[in-house]
Amino acid sequence: MELLLDTCAFIWWDSVSRNLSAVAASALHDPANRLHLSHASLWEMQIKHQKGKLRLEKPLAEIVQEQCVRNGLLLLPIEPRDIYGLDQLPFHHADPFDRLIISQARIRGFRVVTDDVEFARYGAPLLW
């Protein structure tokens, strides 16, 4: 299964947080699943860290690289089709990072690992 981690899900997964559901944690540890993290999430985390809204134990680049090596995390570039896909999304949700992640998931047929119930309003397949 192709899974696209929402930004919060990635943070909780990396920090081994109890906020991650048992179903999500199991799916993220299943080697049969391919795990993706959008460049939109990298951008969001870097901005939040710089604003003091996200505390990181290490530089973001190091955290992401460790997850890529340790767990086979794949980084998902933002392509023009992902941006154009935003045109197909109603404005249920104003967060531009979430909207881009939803567009990427819909275009590629990925399931989004998230606890954000707003994602379901877009018809994106969720896993939580």
Domains of the chain with CATH codes: 2-122 (3.40.50.1010)
pTM (two decimals) = 0.94
pLDDT at 58 over 90: yes
Question: Model confidence at 115, in pLDDT bands (50, 70, 90)?
Answer: very high
pLDDT at 94 over 90: no
pLDDT digits (tens, 9 = 90+) for 26-53: 999 999 999 999 999 999 999 999 999 9
- Asked whether the CA dihedral 95, 97, 99, 105 is positive or negative, the reply is negative
Closest CA to 29 of 18, 13, 41: 13
The strand pair at 2-5 and 34-38 is best described as parallel
